[in-house]
Amino acid sequence: MSTQNLLLIALAAVLVFWAVGAHNRLVRLSNAVADAYPPLDALLRERARLFEQWLDLAERLSAEQGAPLAQALQAQRAALEALRQRPSSARALSRLIEARAQCEHERAALSLKIGSSVQADPLWHQWSLALQQLDEQAAAQSQAYRSATEQFNEAAAEFPALLVAHLVGLKPLPELIWPQPERAATSSAQDRLP
């Protein structure tokens, strides 16, 4: 063999080992995202349950229709289940982010329709307080998942991991932002979208 062939073989071997190392790092970081997700999953499911309670309360206290919010909650449940199956899936996470935004939007719209008389109900304030407490708890507990996601995204943006991620279908994960805790006394007109 000529020196040129040996150099080409050595270069190819280095590139293969570099790519394998990048792949292994991406898989390890993807697994870290999946490992950090279960506590967040429990909080997301609890928040969805609180929204279902809110919808029941809104429909009980008012004649307004909550069908759009009910549909948004159903889409959110499906997105949560998909993300539970694959916690490091960019597509599943994007679907959940969209579904949560739609739920927040429909809740704010229904809140405007309901009016202030319903919001004076003690059950309404109890629900608002429960949501506030959950959001405060989640803001702290979601840090591990956000950190794992950031590390994965940083690694997936570096060379050669960028090429490896593209080849094996590992996409950067969108940021899952937990809404800032609402104050129990806030009026529905001031509800914010996440």
First to last CA, the chain: 63
Asked, for residue 188, whether it belongs to a domain, the answer is: no
pLDDT at residue 120, as a whole number:
75
Residue 118 binned pLDDT confidence (cut-offs 50, 70, 90) = low
Residue 80 lies in a domain: yes
Nearest CA to 111 out of 161, 182, 26, 7 is that of 182
Q: What is the mean pLDDT of residues 43-54?
A: 90
Range of the structural domain that residue 171 is part of:
3-182
Question: Whose structure tokens read 């609890």?
Answer: 46
Q: How many domains does the chain have?
A: 1
- Residue-wise pLDDT for 128-173, tens only, equals 889 889 988 888 888 899 999 999 999 999 888 888 888 888 889 9
Q: Quick check: 53 and 127 in contact, CB under 8 A?
A: yes
7-47 pLDDT tens trace: 999 999 988 898 899 989 999 999 999 999 999 999 999 99
Domain assignment present for residue 191? The answer is: no
Task: Report the C-alpha gap between 122 and 65 in whole angstroms.
Answer: 21
Tokens 């429960």 belong to: 130
Residue that is written with structure tokens 């960028």 in the block: 162
94 lies in some domain: yes
Please report which confidence band the pLDDT of residue 191 belongs to, taking 50, 70 and 90 as the band edges: very low
Is there a domain that residue 192 lies in?
no
Q: What is the phi/psi pair of residue 79, to 5°? A: -65, -40
Residue 121 placed within a domain: yes
Task: State how far the Cα of 113 lies from the Cα of 119, in Å rounded to an integer.
Answer: 11
Q: What local confidence, expressed as pLDDT, does residue 38 receive?
A: 93
Report residue 61's pLDDT band, with 50, 70 and 90 as the boundaries. Answer: low
- Among residues 115, 98, 106, the alpha carbon closest in space to that of 68 is found at 106
Residue 147 lies in a domain: yes
Whether 169 is in a domain gets the answer yes
